[in-house]
Amino acid sequence: MPHVATRTEFIVTTGESPKRLDHFLANREPYFSRTALQRLIEDGHITVGGQVVKPSHKVRPGDRIVLVVPRPEPIEISPESIPLAIVYEDESLLVLNKPAGLVVHPAPGHWTGTLVNALLHHMQSGEGHLSSIGGKERPGLVHRLDKETTGILVVAKTDQAHRSLAGQFKAHSITRIYEALVWGGPKTREGRIEISIGRDTKDRKTFSARTTNPRESLTSYRVKERFGVVAAHLELFPGTGRTHQLRVHLKAIGCPILGDQTYGGKKVMSVEGTAIPRVMLHARVLGFVHPVSNDRLTFSAELPEDMEAVRNVLKGKAGALSS
């Protein structure tokens, strides 16, 4: 057996109906595709009751499943010439406006074409280095934005900058303002959403209040515009930084983000006949204390064209209905 990176055990609980082993694990291990799990089973890295079985093996209540993931071979991430919308840069950090569709760091299914590939290419031009704290796969990354989310993101070029920025994120002293176009809209013009969330117990690829590991999370909001009863334009102020927090919180109050089929279903993929091209979420403002100068810096980015286009369509339809 090669050196082990992780070892995880599962006990099939009472009340779970018999199902294939690969299907069972696909709901518990969101970072692995079913194909990857099948490969691990066939290679003997997943056992049931200490026995090597097939992916089609039916698990039953009381079964003890052990998942042993071999340490992955180190990957080499190559620099790639991908355009970057750089807002600010100095010897310590870099601030950019991330476009929609750009994955932030390499991961299974996205080993190339990521922001990290673009940053490595940018540094080749003599702009310095990226901090090493995130390792080879996430150099310089202090925080991240989902693939479809646009907006301001800061990258650390030195370990000192990385530690300083990470500390500010942990202390929630970072200024963050997002904008979202949502289905329906909140009942009140302003409000707070305080719901502890974690990985969902039934769908391990999503997050919700239905979790065995709840973590306190807070989002404040303000309604900027209402488009009749169909949709609304919100400003969001996250008080914490949990994974998918804004998307989960808005779903929880009945107004999921337009284009977010994961948390809103098919109904949010079009409004009044207008197709929504992606998750309508934008990180508009990011403010922090510079790790060297101690100056307070604030950066902003206007709504991207696709989001502004959807907003204008909604505004026009709402105006037509009210006239």
List active site positions.
Answer: 146
Cα torsion at 223, 226, 232, 233 (round to 10°)?
-50
Separation CA 264–CA 262 (nearest Å): 6
Max CA separation in the chain (angstroms): 72
Stated as kind and residue range, the H or E segment containing 95 is: strand 93-98
Enumerate the β-bridge partners of residue 9.
66
Q: Cα 190 from chain centroid?
A: 25
Answer whether 64's CB lies under 8 Å from 11's CB.
Answer: yes
Neighbours of 120 (CB within 10 A): 19
Stated as kind and residue range, the H or E segment containing 283 is: strand 281-289
Answer whether 107's CB lies under 8 Å from 36's CB.
Answer: no
Separation CA 63–CA 215 (nearest Å): 29
Separation CA 125–CA 95 (nearest Å): 17
Q: Cα 279 from chain centroid?
A: 11
Answer whether 142's CB lies under 8 Å from 132's CB.
Answer: no
Q: Is 181 helix (H, G, I), strand (E, B) or coil?
A: strand
Angle formed at CA 238 by CA 235 and CA 243, multiple of 5 degrees: 120
Separation CA 151–CA 278 (nearest Å): 14
Neighbours of 14 (CB within 10 A): 7
